[in-house]
Structure 1
Amino acid sequence: MPDKEFGLTGELTQVTEAIFLGESNFVVNPLHIILESSDSQKLKFNLIQWLAESPNRQIKSQRKQAVADTLGVSTRQVERLLKEYNEDRLNETAGVQRSDKGQYRVSEYWQEYIKTTYENSLKEKHPMSPASVVREVKRHAIVDLGLEQGDYPHPATVYRILNPLIEQQKRKKKIRNPGSGSWLTVETRDGKQLKAEFSNQIIQCDHTELDIRIVDNNGLLLPERPWLTTVVDTFSSYVLGFHLWIKQPGSAEVALALRHSILPKQYSHDYELSKPWGYGTPFQYFFTDGGKDFRSKHLKAIGKKLGFQCELRDRPNQGGIVERIFKTINTQVLKDLPGYTGSNVQERPENAEKEACLTIQDIDKVLAGFFCDIYNHEPYPKDPRDTRFERWFKGMGGKLPEPLDERELDICLMKEAQRVVQAHGSIQFENLIYRGESLKAYKGEYVTLRYDPDHILTLYVYSCESEDNLEEFLGYAHAINMDTHDLSLEELKALNKERSKARKEHFNYDALLALGKRNELVEQRKEDKKEKRRSEQKRLRSASKKNSNVVELRKSRAAISSRKNEHQEVLPERVSREEIKLEKIDPQPQENISPQTTDTQQEQRHKLVVSNRQKNLKNIW
């Protein structure tokens, strides 16, 4: 925001009051965010980051409105900024990036020609100035291509295309690669330069999938290769800790590797380690690549509690120290072990799967012995007068750091979740109901849950951080009716998934039965409705004919016609052959019979007696 909006004390107080909503609602005091912000883009980034770290929906809604009031924008715009922050498109220094940033309206031919001209001058050790490149572009357009004024790039366009190349060349001259001099500097993604001046100041961490196949405890080949997480000191390239995994690690695995590097090492006698191994927390920075696990809220929360800041490296070569260790492991350790697959197809042994016989515990012993007794005590590459351990020890001031309490560190490294305390001190988490006697007094309040992924049936309940940034331990919450069980988070999620699948299948069958019954009921109600409609229609028709005498007239006429026909003889419907008496008629010559005589005879033979009732009905209708 402009400086004039924050210049006066009264306006600053008004803005901070708009942000601050309650003592128990926020983790960070917004006043500190505003005071630490030097420009509007950094202020916007810090406020959106503060919004993204909201522990629950209620606080997130309050913070969203506070950020909108502070920035003077709508809440919909704040939601857009939050989406860009979650997608890593919101920059701390440059603000919101345009969708067409880095694209130029000039043709690709001119872009390529400008870049090629400048890069060729760098290769020839005679770098051209931007003005010289502009003159070369103008000469090429007019002399070689025969173009006129306005048909080739403007000098300002040439400068915009050259600026990224010039800045990159300046950084290469200014910053040395890690391990290339007496002092080491790495560059973060947002452009900050971190200079390693002592041990444990900048700790680097990374993962890799080892080039070796392993078996389980029963000797069966595992389908996955093991993953290795290493924690290395930038100042001395000293390996502070490592950890092995079966699957690709996440933020919880990074926390365990960090735990191994922070605490003093405790190995059993079968590891046969003979030399000391350093330890300690990161003093200032935790330097990693841009993986999802390193950008998680879990790791940022750990850094906030332990006092270090998580930073992402700008380019892959900034992590050369930790990346180089992986190649060293392959060439010096794994290459001679059974099951080694090689780093590329050409070097891959044919019988790696058949020869595999080592378990992950065996690999852990091998790597622990290599890091502790060999790698950490080899001469430091840039200063062979000292070993890596000696350089690290000197960088620590000649003394080992004070070890942290193991129990407190474990709680600090746990994952967190926010929940509301329900009736009787109950908390719902991962489809289980937890209950703690000490939580009854906090009904309806938000609390912070910390849990161990390997033992999920017990939760550590803390109060939410207040303005003074202090938490209070409220007690334990145990899963109801699960006292004799012990489940990990993965096992609990698998059970929930199976339960949900079974419930879904059961519900689908019941839903089909209910659908059939519902259709039958609907059809029955439709027929009942039609029947009621017909009966009602008939009643209405009858009601409309109350004053009509058509029915009585019809009945009277029918009675009269029946009385007249009492003595009338009617031809029976059926007459048997015995009852019919045929009269014998003498044959006469055909020529003497006239047509009129023939018709009269036929009428007499077939003449029927018609009742008077039918005549009367005919007259009526």
Structure 2
Amino acid sequence: MLGISKAFFKVEIGQLVTYKEERFKITHLISVESVLALNLRTLESERLYIDEIKLVANDDGLKDRNVVGHNDLTLYSEEEWAQAQRRFLVIKPLLENPIRSRTDAEKIADSSGVHVATLYRWLKNYQEAGHVSALVPSKRGRKYGSKLLAQEQEKIVESVIEDIYLNKQRHKPQDVIEEVNRRCRLAKIAAPHSNTVRHRLKLLDPAATMRLRGFKEAARNKYAPILGQFPGADYPLAVVQIDHTEADIILVDEVHRKPIGRPWMTLAIDVCTRTVAGLYVTFEKPSAASVGMCIAHAICPKREYLAELGIEGDWSVWGVMSVIHTDNAKEFRGVVLDRACVEYNIDLQWRPVLLPHYGGHIERLMGTMANEIRKLPGATFSNPTKRKGYDSEKNAAMTLKEFERYLVDFIVNVYHQRVHSQLGMSPRRKWELGVMGDEHMTGTGIMPIPEDPLRVRLDFMPFFERTVQQYGIKIDCITYYDHILDPYINSIDPENKREKKTFVVRRDPRDISKIYFFDPADNRYVVIPYRNIGQPAMSVWELKEVQQLLKTQGKEDVDENMIFEALGRMRSRIEEAKHKTKAARRQATRNPSINGANPNTGKSNANLTLKSSSFPLIESASVANEDDPFAQDIEPFDEISLRR
């Protein structure tokens, strides 16, 4: 079995962890979602929820969750990534053989045409890092900025640069070279080549050099920031199947409660236990973004997700799957999706053409969900014959958020709890047996937990590439800035001195008030807010609406101020419409003839239809918080490809 990625940690007896800022030592594994642990301060035993515990790195302190010791996956070229995958395939037999010998390694090395020492080096790099990107080949030759001079020579060069170059006298490079030669003669050591001294001068920080040489204003103008505002599925997560379907239901908008169309569902099912591993619901057609968000949702714990939806219950299904089966649609073949799966050691397999039975488990799950959806108001049924006599749009009553809450509640509290005909037990019980085991079978053990769930979600999201300017980073006419960007202002690409260096940036479509900047110095993502932090948060959906509004008004040169001014006007109109809608609902209660209200009760027939469902509907988020002007449906990321 292949090793666990270093981005995850496995819960085991005797392990030191933290929980709500307290240190514990795990003593018992009592269920798939909780453990018993000894509080090291009070020496009392407590129950801890697994998805809330954190790993203790050592006795000196906690591990930094933000630092990830490898490059963003998009920074490698196709050739580098292909070479890393080839190396992984070579060492894979050794990883799968826990009792491998030197002879085994030599045979594989001979058949692969590499030296056995090279093979062991690849094996060590992968085992230490836990991810495939550790096998990306290093560039040949000396790395940019490397120094090969003797220590005494380096000291002399540094002293001369500091004494005569970094001052307001502004000596020329030739003056530095001559002084280095003079001091080396006095010290009776070999002088470095003049080109080496010139190279050291080029390595100096340009902004600091200009300031020390008396060009403070020029340095500020150029570099200072401008501030402003199936087979093999015999254990949990061995094989997960993913697919999409357009739900047979008409949903309504959050504001006017008017029909707006059918939503798309992306679902992931664990073939072994039949548990639903993850889902994603949107009005947009399937894309690599929706697939990636569903996979990330499946990998990460879901306690906070249930709390955000206001759903009671347990969804203790998380962890990295070994294999993902999909159909052959283009949204399952994106470059970002492929690289993320390889990075997390997920084997992404496509269903053989003309063999639909390979996707039978996900198809049956889709059928189960379709049968449940037909009980809801606004259902369109599977064909026009069954829909005859039923006006789906007239009876539509649920918003996208209400629909998502209904699906999750059904999955967690009904589907996972009832006996599955093929399993002979509930999916939840099958998952517990597969993980914890019993007297008849050995379980896999509790699934490793992502140390940084946000990093997992980011790895499966599309990305932007942007340069860092003096004002910060600009995306869709909106500027973002933080002091963390200062060292990268006007950075030059070390591979091409004529081009500015670009950096990887990712953005959550639900809230674009911040972006995630991949800091190459620390190999981690850093949150960068609006340059003008006084501007309100918005979604990609709202941004596109504002841009379309400005376009219809004939405004071509759109800037940030115009966008936020238009956003304010749009939200004001939405708020006015909401108040009008509430007044109309109050009038409908008084007059039974309006909106199809029941003449006996004065209540809307749509509400009666909801209550007649065989599964209780949770109170609508839009009804519970009608004054929230930000409740808008979100569009997923557009498809973004890697730079060639």
Q: Please tell me whether Structure 1 or Structure 2 has the larger radius of gyration of its CA atoms.
A: 1
What's the TM-score once normalised by structure 2's chain length? 0.45
Structure with the bigger RCO (C-alpha within 8 Å, sep 6+) is: 2
**TM-score by structure 1 length?**
0.46
